[in-house]
């Protein structure tokens, strides 16, 4: 475990893992990398910000800059 606040990022089924990990007191945020047609309704119900990309199932390979920007934006909202 690291010291300080943590932002967890999960792709596909990794989202289930980070959801459980999100219960730890150091976790301050979760970023889900998912296929938009699968999870868009869930994001809407949670009031989460969604970035929809035209990409494969693995957007961090087909559009790494956009995914990195989303993660950096989420990380910037965490108070240290």
pLDDT higher than threshold 70 for residue 49? yes
Q: What is the pLDDT of residue 54?
A: 83
Residue 27 CA neighbour count, 13 Å, CB half: 13
| Confidence category of residue 64, pLDDT binned at 50, 70, 90 | very high
**Could you identify the residue written with the tokens 């990022």?**
9
CA dist., res. 23 & res. 41, Å (int): 22
CA distance 15 to 1: 19
pLDDT band at 43 (very low <50, low <70, confident <90, very high): confident
User: What does the domain layout of the chain look like in residue ranges?
Assistant: 6-76
Model pTM score: 0.76
Distance of CA 13 to the CA centre of its chain: 12
């Amino acid at each position: 475990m690291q010291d300080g606040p943590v932002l967890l990022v999960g792709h596909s089924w990794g989202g289930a893992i980070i959801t459980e990990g999100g219960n730890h007191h150091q976790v301050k945020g979760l970023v889900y990398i998912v296929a938009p047609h699968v999870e868009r309704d869930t994001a809407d119900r949670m009031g989460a910000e969604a970035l929809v990309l035209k990409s494969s199932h693995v957007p961090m390979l087909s559009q790494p800059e956009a995914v990195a920007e989303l993660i950096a934006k989420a990380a910037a909202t965490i108070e240290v």
